[in-house]
Chain A
Amino acid sequence: MTDHTAIIDRLRNAAERIEVTPDLDRITEPTPQLQGALARTTPRSHRGFLAAACVALIAAGGVGMLASQQYSGGASTAEGESSRQPPAPVPEGAPAPDSRAPAVASVPDWLDDLGPAFRDGNGRSGRWVSTALAVPVGAGYDDPIQVSVFDGEYNGRSDAETIEIDGQTFETVQVGAWQQLATITTPTLVANGAVPLDRLIEVMSAARITTNGDDISVMLDSIPDGYQVIVAPQVLGNDTKLRRTLASHTAELAINEVSDWVDPLLYASGTGTDIERLAVNGSPAWTGITNERFPLKFLVWSPEPGILLEITTTDDNRSITDLVALAERTEAVPIDAWNERYSE
């Protein structure tokens, strides 16, 4: 038999000499806002914030309320009063992480199957407080922006890109029009929404991290014109590594338990998309359609105090009425009951 070792080695050597240049942006298409931000000179009104934010973040490791330089941009109002209060704690009786999971009493005819599945948690650790602001429109809100402070980690930072704005370093992550801007210090201040980068910068410029004993929080000294604070600062519940969920066979529909977000409106505001208020069994629910690579309808509601569930679907044939009907058949059951019901 012929010895092909030399040929094989030559093939491998030739392969190793082929140069490959990564081009991830060609696939994931960063939005023009980020590209613009890289080349743009930040407006003067933001510069005070950037210096002040660094001072505040360095000092935030101490104890007591912080005073930081206030953003002096002209296009803001003083509507941020409702954010200037201690953060709301996680409600008494909220479920422990991974102690409840969604179950559907009777699957509607249009949903041919719904089976058990697992999804990763978000890798959140440390203390988290989030608030949200948006433009009120009819029965809903447009252009929501979420502002958070945390001193731990979460998975969303793992692929962040670093950008320089007026000499200061930030991390940014983008999914379509949705963008997140975060400081690189700890505690970390982060704002996200499907709005231009300038708007995120404006909101961050008005945000201050505060500490009081073991508590951290975020305060907004001002907010953009037309906006109002729709969720006051709220402490988030603990994350979990795995979440039990239900998914259709085609993965076009899923039902998730997201109780760590405490408030359905706070959770919905994180989508960055325009949201509308509905009702599920008489309780407030929020819906919207994100449209990144494909439209995704979502519905988030609280079936009982301390519990949050959401339905997401990419199935164009499903109306929000269908989702509400499904939600009204869905409950959060203890894990033992879920395992017994949905295990193979």
Chain B
Amino acid sequence: MGYASDIAAPRVRSEFARFYADELVGQVRSATLIVGSQPLAHDLVHDVFVTIFERWPDIDEPGPLLQRSVVNACRDALRRQRTATQFLRRQHRLDVSTEPDVPLFDALAKLPFNHRAAVVLRYYAGLTEAEIAERLDCRPGSVGPWIRRGLDRLSNDLDPTTENP
């Protein structure tokens, strides 16, 4: 208790704050690439952080849990807003960054969810195919083909001359 408690003392917040600082940027950027909207991604990631904070003392490996939960939140959000996704994405487009690569986000949005998430988790988050399979709750053998097809389609859809600065 007081200084000594791992529940009531600041240590919980201290540990969580470090975890938050380490994970925030990568998770929001991954989620933005997946859902196509930085504000939506920011909200989804923070909602996941809230659930993890509430269970913090009981969680052994928060990193994988966070990423799995963020991916699931992205999937759920896109399902809920399937008809509105394109609208929302375009509404938030100017918020994605000061210099968004609009063609890239458009091309990503055309990919099936699993292809898109696999590409982002592999080449932005740097996960292995086995880790991606765990995050997406799928067979490890599915991940490689999803990544290859995703990259092939991105290459076909993106004309190098269309890249924003």
Contact = CB atoms under 8 A, between A and B. Distances in A.
A6 B13 CA distance: 41
Contacts of A19: 38, 97-98
Nearest to A254: B6
Interface string B53-91: 110011000000000000000000000000000000000
A270 B1 contact: yes
A301 interface: no
Contact of B54 (A14, A17, A293): A293
Contacts of A290: 1, 5, 7-8
Interface residues of A, number: 64
Nearest to B153: A7
Contacts of A119: 6
Nearest to B58: A251
B104 A14 contact: yes
A159 B29 contact: no
Contact count band on B: 35 or more
A36 B25 CA distance: 30
A10 B10 CA distance: 41
Interface of B: 1-14, 16-18, 20-21, 24-25, 28-30, 32-33, 38, 42, 46, 49-50, 53-54, 57-58, 96-101, 104-105, 119-120, 123-124, 151-152, 154-155, 158, 160, 163
29 contacts: A4-B151, A4-B152, A7-B151, A10-B158, A11-B104, A11-B120, A11-B123, A14-B100, A17-B101, A27-B20, A27-B46, A28-B16, A122-B3, A155-B10, A155-B11, A156-B10, A174-B13, A175-B13, A176-B8, A251-B58, A261-B4, A267-B1, A272-B8, A290-B7, A290-B8, A294-B54, A296-B7, A296-B8, A310-B1
